[in-house]
Amino acid sequence: MDTSVLVINCGSSSIKYALVLEDPAQPRLAGLAECLGSSDARLKGTASNGEPFEQSLPGADHGLALEAILDRLEGRLPLAVGHRIVHGGEHFTRAALIDDDVIAAIEQTTALAPLHNPANLAGVAATRRLFPDLPQVAVFDTAFHQTLPPRAYRYALSEALYRDHAIRRYGFHGTSHAYVSQRADTLSGLEGGGWLTAHLGNGCSTCAVWKGQSRDTSMGLTPLEGVAMGTRSGDVDPGLHAHLARQLGWSLERIDEVLNRHSGLLGLSGLTNDMRELEAAAAQGHQGAAIAVEVFCYRIAKSLAALSCALPRLDGLIFTGGIGENSAEVRERVVALLPHFGLQLNRTANSDTVRGREGRIDAGGRQLWVIPTDEEGQIASETRQRLKQETTA
C-alpha cells in the first residue's frame, strides 16, 4: 500500500503541492500551480527523476489545476491528503479529519482569515471531488499555539470583545515552530527543551516552546502582529490607524494595504523585501537598506527577549525560514543583541550553515541551531498521526 501523503496548500490563485513519502529522505514530487483563474495559469514542479517541468493551464481554476497535479503524481495514489488551513480559531487544537462538520467549523472562522480560509476551503472542496474515497486531514497554522496560557493570548481589551467576537491572539506558522522545536529536541537529546524559535521568511514570527508546547508567540489575531517582515510592518502603535485616518484621510483599506504590503523591509529600505539584495545594498552604503536590516534584527532580538519570559528555562535559540536558514549576517546580529542570554556564536559554523543545511552554530553556552523548516513534512506527519488515532479509536 502507498503510504505517501499529498500535501496541499491552496491560496486564492495558487496551489502548492508535495507528495511526501514516509521516509523523509526520499525525494518528493512537488510543485506549484499559479496565476489560477487567468490566461497565465501554469503548473511547475519537479518529477521523481529530478527533472523540472512547466505546463501551461490557461484559465484553469483550482479543480482543473488539481487534475493536472494528479497527472503529475506518476500513477501514485496517496494514503491521504493533508491540507494546510491557515486559521482554526479556538475550535481546532490539533489536526482534524475532514468531514462536513469540520468544514462548517472552518467556515465559522472565516471572519478571522477572510483571504486565506476561503481559498483553503476551495482546495478542500476540489480535492474531495477528485478523491472522494481518500481521507482528508486539515492541519492548522494556529493549532500549535492553542496551548498559550490566557496571559499570553488575551489582549488588554474588554472581556466582551474576546467572548463575543473571538478577539484574542492566535499565532501562526505553527507547523514550522512545531517542526523545528521537535527537531531540536531530537538533535540535542533534550526531550522537551525550552526553545526560542525564529521563523524568518517573507512572513516572520517568533515563538517560545516549552516541553513541545507553544507558550507564547509574536503573531496575534492576524499575521500582521509582531516583528518586522518582508512587506508587513509588524507591531506599530495601535494609535497609528486613527492618526493616519484623521491626519491623512486614509481609508481602512488603504491602511491595511500599506501595513501589509508596503512596509517592513520594503517600506524601510524603499528598495526591496529581499534580504539578499538588502545585505548587498547595505554593504555598498545604501542607507535605507542599512536601517532596514538594523530594524529587522533589533525587532527580532527584542521579541525573543520578551518571549523568554514565557519559558521556565532557556536551552537555546533556533533559526529557520528563508532568512533564518541562509543569512549568517542576520543570525550574527540577532545573537549579538542578546548578550545577557549567555550565547556564544561559532562564527565559522555560522557562516558555513547556509543553503538548507542543518547545524549547530554555538561555541558553548546555550545552544544555537539552524534548522531548515519542513512544513510539508510536518503536515504529512500530522496527517498520518491523525489517521492512526482514528483507526485506533
Question: Cell numbers of 69, please?
Answer: 497535479
From 8-16, 106-114, 290-298, 321-329, span contacting ligand AMP (CB under 6 A):
321-329
- Shortest spacing between CB 114 and ligand AMP, in angstroms: 22
Quick count: other Cβ atoms within 10 Å of Cβ 388?
10
User: Given the complex with ligand AMP, which of 186 and 351 has the nearer CB atom?
Assistant: 351
Which of 19, 292, 323, 368 is close enough to bind ligand AMP by CB under 6 A? Answer: 323
User: Given the complex with ligand AMP, which of 218 and 326 has the nearer CB atom?
Assistant: 326
**C-alpha distances in Å from residue 109, one per residue of 103, 113, 137, 153:** 10, 7, 17, 17
In degrees, rounded to 5, the angle at the alpha carbon of residue 363 between the alpha carbons of residues 362 and 369 is 10
Looking at residues 166 to 205 of the shown chain, list those that interact with ligand AMP (rule: CB under 6 A).
201-202
234 binds ligand AMP (CB under 6 A): no
Sheet with 194-200: strands ordered across: 213-217, 204-210, 194-200, 316-320, 367-370, 359-360
Looking at residues 263 to 302 of the shown chain, list those that interact with ligand AMP (rule: CB under 6 A).
273-276
Question: Cell numbers of 176, please?
Answer: 514550522
Contacts of 95 (CB under 8 A, 6+ apart): 82, 137, 138, 139, 140, 143, 382, 383, 385, 386
Which of 322, 374, 375, 386 is close enough to bind ligand AMP by CB under 6 A? Answer: 322
Beta bridge partners of 43: 33, 55
Catalytic one of 141, 185, 315, 374: 141
Binding mask 325-364 for ligand AMP (x = CB under 6 A): -xx-------------------------------------
User: Given the complex with ligand AMP, which of 127 and 320 has the nearer CB atom?
Assistant: 320
CA gap 260, 225 in Å, rounded: 10
Q: What is the DSSP letter of 122?
A: H
User: Given the complex with ligand AMP, which of 109 and 218 has the nearer CB atom?
Assistant: 218
R_g of the chain, CA atoms, integer Å? 21
- Shortest spacing between CB 326 and ligand AMP, in angstroms: 3
CA gap 294, 298 in Å, rounded: 6
User: Given the complex with ligand AMP, which of 274 and 352 has the nearer CB atom?
Assistant: 274
CA gap 187, 194 in Å, rounded: 14
- Shortest spacing between CB 13 and ligand AMP, in angstroms: 18
CA gap 191, 202 in Å, rounded: 30
Residue nearest to ligand AMP (CB): 322
Q: Are 236 and 259 in contact (CB under 8 A)?
A: yes
CA gap 390, 384 in Å, rounded: 10
CA gap 388, 339 in Å, rounded: 45
- Shortest spacing between CB 177 and ligand AMP, in angstroms: 13
User: Given the complex with ligand AMP, which of 109 and 206 has the nearer CB atom?
Assistant: 206
User: Given the complex with ligand AMP, which of 315 and 329 has the nearer CB atom?
Assistant: 329
Catalytic annotation present for 315: no
Which of 264, 321, 372, 377 is close enough to bind ligand AMP by CB under 6 A? Answer: 321
Q: What is the DSSP letter of 147?
A: G
230 binds ligand AMP (CB under 6 A): yes
Count of residues touching ligand AMP (by CB under 6 A): 12
- Shortest spacing between CB 97 and ligand AMP, in angstroms: 29
Binding mask 133-162 for ligand AMP (x = CB under 6 A): ------------------------------
What three-state secondary structure class fits 227? Answer: coil
Unique residue bearing C-alpha cell 500530522: 382
- Shortest spacing between CB 271 and ligand AMP, in angstroms: 12
Give the total residue count for the chain: 393
From 92-100, 131-139, 315-323, 358-366, span contacting ligand AMP (CB under 6 A):
315-323
- Shortest spacing between CB 171 and ligand AMP, in angstroms: 17
Q: What is the DSSP letter of 366?
A: B
- Shortest spacing between CB 274 and ligand AMP, in angstroms: 4
Q: Using CB under 6 A as the criterion, which residues of the chain lie in contact with ligand AMP when the complex forms?
A: 201-202, 230, 273-276, 321-323, 326-327
Q: Residues with catalytic annotation?
A: 141
